[in-house]
Structure 1
């Protein structure tokens, strides 16, 4: 029952306003002989304010109409009639509407300002934390190489690999920030060409350390033929999917990556074992800067999967996350818009 009601929780403020209106109406009706019509009109504006502070114009207009209609029907002569013989009805409607509009406008402005502040804080977090981590790795490894002449070639190579991987992480993070900005603004044109998913996945795996690619990822790519899409964006899609799986998979757990030909569409599936995440949180993981609770110790900007969603949408596809088998399965369906002709 709760699962059926959950999608309607976002309308709780309307139910609350209706409840307040009911209580106000009952009290006003009982004491109408003691209350002046102006006082009754003033308290009937409370439900309008309750709705207006949420910044929803249509809901505010609905509540305004409802309050004015009740006010006219129950208190403005001739009562129990919708006939209008008093200019108070017109004035009450105008005042209710103006007050509702002003509060709704201010609520929207405050909401937009809060979103901008959240965006600014998220970007500051990326710069101060997520960029600092690979920079510290690079700085520490270089200092160790320069200060220790007795390092073996193996140790030097390991440190150089750490430096290389940290620089790739920095490049990936900066690329994600730039891509997120471009995708959000809509200022991007697809460079469509014939793409080979084997090449795309191969290039994407090169973005990670050899140890990660070889030991953790199990890749299965069916013979899909060439796919008509943006090669650069599709590569970025696979990189972000793998990056997310590496970050949030359980220790020593394998990551399954599959590309399946389903005739009319290409299915991409990425599965990694992780702690249980309920369905409601999974719905939010594709939102920009959203991070699941209890993951603050894991470096990440929260924009990787949001970029994935944008890239999939640009290719007219669908993306979803499913909780199954002690892990998360991210599934993408990309429609095949045209097929390459064999010569």
Structure 2
């Protein structure tokens, strides 16, 4: 059996045993308390009768007291109650008992030591006795223990039956819960072993109806595995992209350097071109490194409450002259209210700049590029839209891939990492980046979560 399964089974049985012990203690307490309460009730009954007889004696004298004691002795069922009125010299004046053997002062007397006139209840094995002086007379009365015996017998049977039932159900439930827990922990262990063997697509099966602690742990593990799988796929994709997109420029650079090495005199133009190619390759690697650092989430510790409007205005001021020189129009529309977001202002500035620069680079002269920062459904929203050629529907998700460049943008500059960097920054800030049709052109929305006050 799986070790942790044995642990869960053992813990379940231990808790079942603990509940049984606690139940036994509670049942014993209930038994004692019931015994105490019934005895107290019987004594209260005898004290009440004593008060009645005392009142009769004080108001009417000994003759009425004798009659009353005889009446009480006769009306009780099968001598469950006993009465005896003794005179000053110890003679029996009234009652249904003739003699009590043993000490005169006592609380409980065995039925064998009580001599009763007539028959008594067979279940009575003893009497609770109280003595009371009425002047020169002594009143002795008692109550049979059969009431307590019957109550405690019924209670004892109920408590023992309940204890056995709890023990049985607790043990069964402990074994059942232990086996279920064992199976689920074993499923988690098996999944982790598969992941360790390289099967990153393995997931822990989850029962959506239970939603207990193990399900929540399993969900967290599955989310972690999904992120791990995505990261691994991303790393593979990055390697493939680097191999595919940087192979050609590296080969060209190598050919150019070989050509320069074979020349007796170095051509300055060739050196300048080689240096430019080297700079492009370095910039590409720096961009990849920056994306990787952002995706790792290391910059979240620098998050501050920032007004999105200030960043948008700064980017507009920086790119408006460039757009004018290119024959394009850059328009700005911002909310009158502060648009607070929680984030890294430098990265947010990079995000806005990349989106605007991408629009300027891939749209022709005469294009109108709009920058808008406003509220939408109570959350900050950034929108960069243009009236250019747009992006084909099938390419809208692909544009965020590293090194991806659509057919319309292959003749323009860039390394295909600008929008990938935008997506990484948006995800770092828990924002959603969406591409839609602007009719004509393209519309890119960045939906930010609001900053905490």
**TM-score of the superposition, structure 2-length normalised?**
0.38
TM-score computed with the length of structure 1 as normaliser: 0.49
Higher strand share: 2
